[in-house]
Structure 1
Amino acid sequence: MSSTEVNLKQGLRKLEYPICAKEALYKIFDLICSRITSIKNMDLALDLMAEFVFYEVDRRGHKRAQQLSSLQELQLIKILYEYFNSISSESGRNTVFLSLFSGTTLSLRLGILTKFISTAIGIPSSKILSSASAWMQQLGNASPNSCKFAEGIIQDYFYFYVSSTEKITVLPQISPQFTANFMTAVAENYFNTTNKRDVCFPPKVLLETITLWISESTSLCVAAQQKQAMLPPGAIAMEATTPIAGLLKWCILSPIFKQENTFYNNLHLALLNSIMEIPKAVPPKAIYAQHLTVSINPILAYVNDLKNRQEKKLDQILHEDSLQLALDRFAQAIQVISSVNAMYGHVDDLFHQLKLLPFNKLMSIVLNNYKNKVVIL
């Protein structure tokens, strides 16, 4: 360790927490956002984060037995809020944000991150939410880390502080990119049928809010794809996954999970209107075909359940109201997506799998239209 590094750390150790955290953040910016960066500078910046910002290790690099107290966490969140709002450079702001909350350290810092972004929603900061949006995209806005983060925001605004939902209602106006990425992560957290016994459904107020967001702004779902985040030099920007397929899954599966109410109907209509307004892109990038196949197996499982547990005849199953409503919505979505050429990926495979579904008049029309289109091509 050089004398400069030793002096820097010794100087910060003389300061009480959270003053040392505040000073360390400015040093971190200089280390990783200067014109000439190095691995050595990055390593030093990471050391400063762990010891002085998040108080995770002691001067020897050993894990601290005592972590930040609740008061110290609040002090740190206030410092982070003021610090990120003071950075005028979007690239610099995102560089520091991505370093502070990297995928390798997130398990330790997720609680602070969630409280930090909840604050940026409650006391609106478009700068901070823009950096959070860039962070979600770089980690994958449908990744486990993004989904855990989104669940924390949901807990804050849709369970613990339901009276504060007006704060999050206007979120698309503050940061449409963050809102779009947030919806993508949220969509993954509900109607997840990987474990049938633990299928979770969105709280009513969350469903109402998302429906309102999309109804008021048809371009919201693709907002994160319309503006590229400013990243550090050499960084590869990750393409955002839109929330459309995930939210359509809610609408399609809600009837067979007996979650049907007018809000799913309204959300489905809002999504269809949103899809129709998707800007044309060559090649298409709005909806990945494989994401739409997720709804197929739960529908087939529902049919098997009707057949085995309720001992219904095939004719009764095919005319079951919940099943036909699910299939109608699925067919409507596929038809509208196809009509605006918004789908990419293994499209042929999707249509092949759709043939496995029980008969539905509208779906049969959609399949025949695609078959004729392919033949013509």
Structure 2
Amino acid sequence: MGDIRQSLLPRDVLSAAKELLYHLDIYICNLVQSGRQPPQVDSKTLELVEEFILHAPKDRNTPGRRMSALQELQLLEIMCSCFQEQSRDTVRQLMFSALFSLQGNQADESRMALLGKLVSMAIAVGRIPILECAATWLQRTHRVYCIRLAQVLVDDYCSMVPGSVPTLQNIHSASPRFCCQFITAVTTLYDLNSEELTPPLELLQMIVSWIQDDPRLVLITFLNTPLSGSQPISSLDLTPLGGLVRWCVKAPLAYRRDSKQALTNGTTQNEPETGPLFSALHLSVLQVFMLLPNILNEKGLFGRLALLQMESLAALTSDLSRLLDQADKHTHASSADTHALSQLTLDRLAQALQVAMANGALLCSREDLRAICSRLPHNNLLQLVLSGPVMYYNNIHTPPLAFSPHAAHSPIASHPTHPTHPAHTPHTPLATHPSSHPQYPAQPFMTGMPFPFRPSH
């Protein structure tokens, strides 16, 4: 395609961009049809994209061309139509990659700016092919850029335009893949370590409603990802489960901290609104874990692929230790209230650990858990979970998958079977639960002990 540059130079910026998109579509169609494997866009074509669509200067002596706001809007509409009219997904994905795959150069900022506007428009006008391409982009791109895109969408639909949240919420049924990746990105972005990193109420409500409507939504990427390749270490997690557990566990202390600061600043407290939301989310996450045994067994992955990573849990317990120390030292609430919130936090952590281990989402020993929870204060339920039997899933005589995002650091890889600890089957059932929740069968070491799941808090 390098020979078309001379024909593009005399055109105005919008006309040149439109013409290049047309030629790019034809070029990629021919590339796919040639059967070349893998089909790969050449560097000359990528340079044309940077020059005539992203408007990166060809060299230092050539000033970059700029579009007006109206021209940029027109370009976005043209791109939406281009992806909508192209019926072959392979062509669309290659074209999206040619436009927005990060190259590590100065054009990347232009790529990110244009990408954010294009995906935001695709949500507004329901362009599903673009959302599907964006889902793939979120799966393959460094998490730093994924959360930048997520931030743009949260700003557009949860902050800047009042009443626009339903527009974003409606894509749940249109593009589940995009929704799953979006949830993973926002749970990575908002880690609840500060008020600025606390999800907006509208965003939280939307995600809770999505998962309540369809718990399998958070597993869509995992269910649709070929397990032959490896996940880049810097990419988003394969599922948002780790981020959702972090939200549920940290919320009681994080929102109490933020609400006290808000009251000091004269604003209203939002803890009463968020409390039931996080309780509902916590219940939904546990229900997702309980879907996993059948799914993992069908794929032959039970005991081989950890969807909840030990590194994520270690970071969570470290954050919890800090939050609990802050609550003890700086709380203005009654000591009883602070103690209740701390215990709720630790109860949720214990419940998540136990249900994740029993259903094959977390592959580790109780010794590993005791090590990462050693700085946390006493909690009856957590102590019960930590003192349970050793559980080594690599006693199934199959190696861990290289596909695991952190296989090199996986507890399966780093902790060989210890002969001093008797092996237990990977189908160890859950703790005895009150009769009102019969879905939690009895676990031998916890027989007769209640499983205090309290979603109403």
8 Å contact kept, 1:21–1:76: yes
8 Å contact kept, 2:55–2:64: no
Which residue in the other structure is 1:18 paired with?
Answer: 14
Q: 1:265 aligns with which of 254, 272, 279?
A: 279
Distance 1:122 1:249, change over 3 A: same
Structure 2 residue 335 is the aligned partner of structure 1 residue 305:
no
Secondary structure in 1 aligned to 2:56?
coil
**Which aligned pairs between 1:306-321 and structure 2 lie closer than 5 A?**
306-309=327-330, 320-321=339-340
Deviations 1:225-255 (A, max 9, x none): 11138xxxx9977685211111211111111
**Offset of residue 288 of structure 1:** 1.9
The 2-side partners of 1:347 and 1:126 are apart by: 44
Which residue in the other structure is 1:119 paired with?
Answer: 121
Q: What is the RMSD of the two structures over their aligned residues, measured on CA atoms? A: 3.1
> Which stretch has the larger CA shift, 9-18 or 127-136?
9-18
The 1-side partners of 2:357 and 2:40 are apart by: 51
**Which aligned pairs between 1:39-54 and structure 2 lie closer than 5 A?**
42-54=42-54
The 2-side partners of 1:356 and 1:77 are apart by: 52
Which residue in the other structure is 2:315 paired with?
Answer: 294
8 Å contact kept, 2:176–2:217: yes
Which residue in the other structure is 1:176 paired with?
Answer: 176
**Percent of aligned positions with the same letter in both sequences?**
25
**Which aligned pairs between 1:100-111 and structure 2 lie closer than 5 A?**
100-103=99-102, 104=104, 105-111=107-113
Secondary structure in 2 aligned to 1:343?
coil
Output the TM-score relative to the length of structure 1: 0.85
Which residue in the other structure is 1:165 paired with?
Answer: 165
Secondary structure in 2 aligned to 1:46?
helix
Distance 1:362 1:41, change over 3 A: closer
Deviations 1:193-248 (A, max 9, x none): 3xx5x65211111000000000000101110111138xxxx997768521111121
Residue segments in structure 2 that go unaligned for 5+ positions in a row: 257-270, 393-417, 424-457
Distance 1:98 1:213, change over 3 A: same
The 2-side partners of 1:347 and 1:32 are apart by: 52
The 2-side partners of 1:302 and 1:321 are apart by: 14
Letter in 2 for 1:303: L
**Which aligned pairs between 1:60-79 and structure 2 lie closer than 5 A?**
62=61, 64=63, 67-79=66-78
Distance 1:332 1:37, change over 3 A: closer
The 2-side partners of 1:39 and 1:342 are apart by: 35
Q: 2:357 aligns with which of 315, 324, 338?
A: 338
8 Å contact kept, 1:28–1:48: no
Letter in 1 for 2:422: I
Structure 2 residue 29 is the aligned partner of structure 1 residue 27:
no
Distance 1:319 1:114, change over 3 A: closer
Which residue in the other structure is 1:209 paired with?
Answer: 206
8 Å contact kept, 1:190–1:201: yes
The 2-side partners of 1:106 and 1:192 are apart by: 28
Q: 1:349 aligns with which of 344, 347, 368?
A: 368
Which residue in the other structure is 2:344 paired with?
Answer: 325
**Offset of residue 68 of structure 1:** 2.2
**Which aligned pairs between 1:358-373 and structure 2 lie closer than 5 A?**
358-371=377-390
Distance 1:215 1:37, change over 3 A: closer
8 Å contact kept, 1:55–1:67: yes
8 Å contact kept, 1:84–1:127: yes
The 2-side partners of 1:31 and 1:61 are apart by: 29
Residue segments in structure 1 that go unaligned for 5+ positions in a row: none
Distance 1:302 1:339, change over 3 A: same
The 1-side partners of 2:180 and 2:322 are apart by: 31
**Offset of residue 29 of structure 1:** 3.7
> Which stretch has the larger CA shift, 292-301 or 25-34?
25-34
Structure 2 residue 148 is the aligned partner of structure 1 residue 148:
yes
Higher helix proportion? 1
The 2-side partners of 1:46 and 1:235 are apart by: 25
**Offset of residue 69 of structure 1:** 1.8
Count of residues in correspondence between the two structures: 360
The 2-side partners of 1:75 and 1:235 are apart by: 38
**Offset of residue 56 of structure 1:** 2.5
**Offset of residue 37 of structure 1:** 8.8
Deviations 1:19-40 (A, max 9, x none): 2212212323444551359999
Distance 1:102 1:63, change over 3 A: farther
Output the TM-score relative to the length of structure 2: 0.71
Which residue in the other structure is 1:376 paired with?
Answer: 422
